[in-house]
Amino acid sequence: MNALVLGSGGREHTIAYKLSLSSSIDRLFWTPGNGATEEIAENPGININDFGRIISFVKQNNIELTVVGPEAPLVDGISDRFREEGLNIFGPESKGAMIEGSKIFAKKLMEEVGIPTARFREFYSYKDARRYIDQISPPYVIKADGLAAGKGVIIAENKESGEKALVDMFKNRIFGDSGTKVVIEQFLKGEEATVLALCDGKNVLPLISSQDHKAVYDGDKGPNTGGMGAIAPAPVVNSRVLGKVVDRILNPLINLFIKRGIKYRGVIYAGLMIIDENPYVIEFNCRFGDPETEAVLPLMESDFGKLLFSTLKGDLSNTEIKWKDGYCCDVVLCSGGYPGKYEKGKEIHGLEKLKDKRDVFVFHAGTKKEDNRLLTNGGRVLNIAAVGNTLQEAIGKAYEHVKMINFEGMHYRKDIGFKGLKHLES
């Protein structure tokens, strides 16, 4: 069969790479892609928002599996359009994608079926929200309702910064219309982790857990980014915790979808806070995580193409996923200034030293090829992922190879996996 990947980040490179190894895939397309696309796939160069052209391309090329990387096309209904045309697509219809598209929708679903999450209130005006923070104590967790490219959450340590966040969202519209509805929720203190689960509309099948590192500086300091690196599996998600994630979170969610007639075929991203071995949902996303995917998929031994196809066919109840023993550590290399302003177009050096290294993977994010040179083209530029028998070994191997790469302004966290190591030492 032929397959198409939509998106241009490190997550999509990882997905395309795993599909390129699948025995069930003949031709692989990937658009709009990045500097790595031509190494493993054909790039038709179609804009990801141009659903009409994507659908024509899929029909012309007999594509039987389209995998959507980012959330925006899902929330905008790309899967509904595909299904109207009788085409296969990995990703939920827009009603299901609203678990990410609206925090209020997600919180109400969780409330309805008792999925553990932070207590919350929703607000539609500055005045009401401002009055509420007078009644509760900080830190305040203030979330814009709609999509905000992962930046719509502000944790305010005191009343002044809480007030500023509300002014920014309601009055200055820093998140546009996404911030005109706001959730204020209880602050949860624990350790964060991610569980991605395939969902075929009836059954959920969790992948191994992972742990992102969202803050820009070592020790989880500084502003949040899209993610500076990840490990898999996450030691904080032991088998007891994973069992609770399935029983208390994933199964109730899918049962509610079934009850509401929502056909969810794709992946559910559960962003969790683990407190005393109990998982609470911080957020749901309707897609694979980035950079979690870059740490999880290198450990997958099963055929990824077949697995995604089973998901679309509603076959997950008979499916088991095989994983390599050991761990993966993924380090993200960023442009100078990221997550604030940064420049593009810096030449990337050293990648040739990582070619054909066993258990070391380079997943491109913001890169582009120009005149046979590889240039930076985004905030998160490259992922270096390494697999080892122990977490320590995976981390060591990732950083050993990170050191071989450079571009002007490059920065990265030096402590990816530090929380995982603490668990394993204790």
Can residue 335 be called a binding residue for ligand GLY (CB under 6 A)? no
290 binds, among ligand GLY, ligand AMP, none (CB under 5 to 8 A by kind): ligand GLY
Q: Is 384 exposed, middle or buried (0-12, 13-18, 19+ CB in 10 A)?
A: buried
Question: Which positions from 157 to 196 touch ligand GLY by CB under 6 A, shown as an x/- string?
Answer: ----------------------------------------
Q: Which residue is nearest to ligand GLY (CB)?
A: 289
Binding site partner of 148, from ligand AMP, ligand GLY, none, Cβ cut-off 5-8 A by kind: none
Among 12, 145, 192, 292, binds ligand GLY (CB under 6 A): 292
Q: What is the DSSP string of 389-416?
A: SSHHHHHHHHHHHHTT-B-TT-B--S-T
Handedness of CA 270, 274, 275, 276 (dihedral sign): positive
Site for ligand GLY, residues 108 to 167, rule: CB under 6 A: 150
Which residues are within 8 A (CB) of 359 and not within 5 positions of it... i.e. 6 or more apart?
298, 386, 387, 388, 397
Q: How many CB atoms lie within 10 A of CB 141?
A: 20
Question: Do residues 118 and 280 lie in contact, with contact meaning Cβ atoms separated by under 8 Å?
Answer: yes
DSSP 125: S
Judged by CB under 6 A, the residue of 46, 67, 141, 169 near ligand AMP is: 141
Q: Is the CB of 45 or the CB of 340 nearer to ligand AMP?
A: 340
354: CB partners within 8 A, 6+ apart:
360, 362, 384, 401, 404, 405
Residue 330 contacts ligand GLY per CB under 6 A: no
| Binding residue (CB under 6 A) for ligand AMP from 282, 299, 300, 416 | 282
In the complex, least distance from residue 36 CB atom to ligand AMP, rounded to whole angstroms? 27
Residues of this chain, 162-181, that bind ligand AMP according to CB under 6 A? none
User: Phi first, then psi: what are they for 344, rounded to 5°?
Assistant: -110, 175
Q: What is the 3-state composition of the chain as percent helix, strand, coil, each rounded to the nearest 5?
A: 35, 30, 35
Q: Name the minimum Å distance from CB 163 to ligand GLY.
A: 27
**Is the CB of residue 401 less than 8 Å from the CB of residue 360?**
yes
Query: Are 342 and 409 contacting, i.e. CB atoms less than 8 angstroms apart?
Result: yes
Among 145, 290, 294, 303, binds ligand GLY (CB under 6 A): 290
State which residue, 242 or 267, has the beta carbon closest to ligand GLY. 267
Sheet holding 265-275, edge to edge: 204-206, 191-200, 265-275, 278-285
Q: Does residue 290 touch ligand AMP according to CB under 6 A?
A: no
CB of 273 to ligand AMP, least distance (A): 6
Kindly state whether residue 227 participates in binding ligand GLY, applying the rule CB under 6 A: yes
Contact residues for ligand AMP, defined by CB under 6 A: 118, 141, 150, 153, 155, 185-188, 192, 214, 224, 271, 282-283
Contact residues for ligand GLY, defined by CB under 6 A: 150, 212, 227, 285, 289-290, 292
